[in-house]
A = this chain, B = another copy of it.
Amino acid sequence: MTENPDKFREARSILAPFGVRIQRLNRAKIEVQDPRPENIARFALVSALESHRRPTLVEDSGLFIEALDGFPGPYSSFTYDTIGLQGILDLLRHYRTRRAYFQSTVAFGSPTITPRLFTGKVRGRISKRILGKNGFGYDPIFIAEGSTKTFGQTSQSSKNMKSHRARAFQRFARWFLTPSTHTVAK
């Protein structure tokens, strides 16, 4: 459950190798204001399950920049739409550390399964310039640890292997496909 079609496509292609198929739920996701994606995802899931009484996935993510005390964090989408990538670079102009991480938290539940959270993080740094046209959002200014390229310069398939969203959805898939941990009518 997400209102962002790019995120949905990314999630679907991450889950495909596991044989897990998802459908996009066409309704408003209730996103609360909270500094932690975990809390946002959990609240959205519980709200969704009040009316959609089937197994449901909700994802929330953000870019957390250390020098800026976690900004833009849960408001990454609004911040991207307003001050944009250049705004982030302007804000970091005076800082020595450019450390940042992407976090994705997936919440899964159903009317009979207590919500479970699966979190993936990718640590890295903010680039000095906007580079690359792949991906979406902050991809062109984020360089993952051990890499010299931004996510915007990385192919979608390569990013799918190591992104924060990939890690969170892969954790979910591994749990979901282990029958002993839960029972779901698939």
Contacts and interface: CB of A to CB of B under 8 A. Distances in A.
Interface of A: 30-33, 35, 40, 68-75, 78-79, 81-83, 87, 90-91, 93-94
Contact of A73 (B71, B78, B87): B78
Contacts of A79: 71, 75
Oligomer copy total:
2
A74, A82, A90, most chain B CB atoms within 10 A: A82
Nearest to A78: B75
A60 to B, nearest CB: 10
Given A90-B93, A91-B83, A35 B73 contact: no
Contacts of A30: 32
A91 B88 CA distance: 8
Contacts of A70: 82
Contacts of A69: 81-83
Contacts of A81: 69
Given A31-B33, A74-B78, A75-B79, 18 more contacts: A30-B32, A33-B33, A33-B40, A33-B75, A68-B83, A69-B82, A69-B83, A70-B82, A71-B78, A71-B79, A72-B82, A73-B78, A73-B82, A83-B91, A87-B91, A90-B90, A90-B94, A91-B91
